[in-house]
Chains A and B, each alone.
Chain A
Amino acid sequence: MTFLPLLRSVFRREMQLAYRRRSDLANPLLFFLIVVVLFPLGVTPDMSKLAEMAPGVLWVGALLANLLSLDLLFRSDYEDGSLEQMLLAAVPPTLLVLCKVSAHWLVTGLPLTLLAPLLSVMLGLPGSAIPLLMVSLALGTLCLSLIGSIGAALTVGLRKGGLLLTLLIMPLFVPVIIFGTGAVQAQVAGLPWLAQLAMLAAMTTGSLALAPLLTVAALRIAVGD
C-alpha cells in the first residue's frame, strides 16, 4: 500500500492547520461548558434532579459543540482549491476523507469526550457511569464526525451552509443519541446497557465504512458545481 505516506502527510497537514488555529479548538469545549451551565440555570439547581438528566444533557451538549466545527471541515479546502486536487489525486478520495474526518475527531470529538467527566460532576452523574459515558461519547462523536462529513460535503459550496448542515444531519443522528444516552441511563439505573452500546458501536462502524463514499460523492457534486 503506497498510499500510507501520502495519507500520513495529509493527516499531518490537518493537524498542523488545527494547531495554527489553536484558539479555535477551544470553542467547542467552551460551548460544551456553556450548555452544561445553562441547563441547571434554566431548570433547577437540585443535584438529584439534575443527575437524572445528566446523560442526556452531556450527550446533547457534546454533539451540539461537535456540530459547530463541522461546517469548517471542507470549507477552507474548497475555497483555496485543494479540495479539487484531493479528488483528482491518485489516492482514493475515500481514504483522504477518512483521514480528514479522523483528524477532525482527534481535535474536536476527543477533547469533548475528555472534558465530559469534569462536566458530569457538575451535573451530579454518579462516578461509576463516567467510563461508559466516555466510551459512548467517543463512539458518538466519531459517528457524528463521519455522518457530519456527508452533510458538510453537501453544503460546502453554499453560503448559509452551516444552518442547512444542522438541519440535514440531526435527523440522521437521532438513533445515535437514543442509543448513546440510553446506554448511560441504563447503567445509572442499574439495568443492562451492553445492547445499547453495541448498537452505538454498530452505527459507528457502519458509518466508518459507508460515510466516506457518500461524502466523496457529495464533494464531487460541490466541486463540479
Chain B
Amino acid sequence: MWQAFVRWFHKWSSPKWFYTMSQPWSFWLGWAATLIIAVALIWGLMFAPVERLQGNSYRIIFLHVPSAFLSQAIYAAIAVLGLVGLVWKMKLAFFVAKQCIPVGASMALLALITGAIWGKPTWGTWWEWDARLTSMLVLLLLYLGLWALHNAMERPESGDRASAILALVGVVNLPIIKFSVEWWNTLHQPATLKFTEAPPMHVSMLIPFLMAIVGFYLASMAWVLMRTRLEILQRERKSRWVEEELNRFAEGQ
C-alpha cells in the first residue's frame, strides 16, 4: 500500500505526466465551474429575496464572500506547494504555486473592490479601515510581493525557491497579521455595526451563496490548471515532447 502511494507520489515529479493527465480535468472543471457560477449568480441576482436590513445591495455577497475565501485558500495552497517544492524538489509544485499567484491576487482584488463598493450603501463610505478589509489589503500586498519576487529573479528556478520561502513566511504571519489588525480595529473603534457577521440566511439565499462559493473554487482550480499547463510548456520548452506539442499548436493555428 505504502509502495503504491510512493509510486503515485513520484508520478507528480513529471511535468509531462501531469500535462497529459490534466487535459480532461481542465475541460471538465472549466465547464462545471461555468455552469455552477452562472446558476448561482443568476439565482442570487434575480430570484433570491430582498434582504430585510440591506435591501438589494446584499447581492454583492455572492461575489464578495467566494472571492474572499478563495484568496485566502489559494494563499495557503501556495505556501503548501512551496513547501512541497522545497522539500521534495518537485518542479511541478513550483509551477502550480507560481500560477496560483495571479488567480489568488485577482480574487483578493475582487474581494477588496466588492467589499468597498458594498460599504458605500452600508457604511456610507467607500472605504473603512475595518479588520476584514485591512487584512484583505495586506493579503493583496503579500500576493503582489510574491509576483514581484518571481519577476525580479534572473532565473525562474531562483524565483520559484525565493517565492516559496516568502510564501511560507507569509502564511505563518497571516494569522498574526489578522489577529493584530482585529486588535487594532477594536482598540480604536467601539463595536460599530459590523455586517461582517453574516446575517442568518434564508435557504433561498443560502443555496446560491454556497453554489457561488463552490463555483468559484472550481473556477480557480480550472484557471490555475490552464495556467500551469502553459507554464509547463514554457519551462520545459527545451524538451522534445514540448516541441512536438508546440508544433501541433502552431499547425493548428
Contact = CB atoms under 8 A, between A and B. Distances in A.
Nearest to B127: A122
A160 B75 CA distance: 36
Interface string B127-161: 11110001001100100100010011000000000
B141 A34 contact: yes
B12 interface: no
Given A41-B181, A44-B188, A47-B125, A23 B151 contact: yes
Contacts of B129: 40, 45, 47, 50, 122
Interface stretch (A25-33, A55-63, A202-210): A25-33
A37 B185 contact: no
A122 B141 CA distance: 15
B190 to A, nearest CB: 11
A45 B189 CA distance: 8
A121 B120 CA distance: 12
Given A45-B134, A45-B184, A45-B185, A30 B127 contact: no
Interface of A is mostly: helix
Interface in A34-72: 34, 37, 40-41, 44-47, 50
Which of A27, A33, A41, A45 gathers the greatest number of chain B CB atoms within 10 Å? A45
Contacts, number: 42
A124 interface: yes
Interface in A13-28: 23, 26-27
B126 interface: yes
A122 B125 CA distance: 9
Contacts of A122: 127, 129
Contacts of B137: 37
A46 B148 contact: no
Interface of B is mostly: helix
B142 to A, nearest CB: 11
A122 B144 CA distance: 19
B154 to A, nearest CB: 13
A223 B227 CA distance: 48
Nearest to B130: A45
Contacts of A44: 188
Interface in B90-134: 125-130, 134
B247 to A, nearest CB: 29
A6 to B, nearest CB: 33
Nearest to A43: B188
Which of A23, A33, A37, A122 gathers the greatest number of chain B CB atoms within 10 Å? A122
Interface string B171-188: 000000000010011001
B127 to A, nearest CB: 5
Given A26-B148, A30-B148, A41-B184, A46 B134 contact: no
B87 to A, nearest CB: 29
Interface string A86-129: 00000000000000000000000000000000000110100000
A34 B142 CA distance: 11
A50 B134 CA distance: 15
Contacts of B181: 41
Contact of A23 (B141, B148, B188, B189): B148
Nearest to A120: B127
A40 B128 CA distance: 11
Contacts of B130: 45
Contact of B128 (A26, A34, A47): A47
Contacts of B148: 23, 26-27, 30
Nearest to B189: A45
A34 B181 CA distance: 15
24 contacts: A23-B151, A26-B144, A26-B148, A30-B141, A30-B144, A30-B148, A33-B141, A37-B137, A41-B134, A41-B181, A41-B184, A44-B188, A45-B128, A45-B129, A45-B130, A45-B134, A45-B184, A45-B188, A46-B189, A47-B127, A47-B128, A121-B126, A122-B129, A124-B125
Given A23-B152, A26-B144, 5 more contacts: A44-B188, A45-B189, A47-B129, A124-B125, A124-B127
* For the complex of A and B, 10 pairs with smallest distance between CB atoms: A45-B129, A23-B151, A122-B127, A40-B129, A44-B188, A121-B126, A45-B188, A121-B127, A45-B185, A46-B188
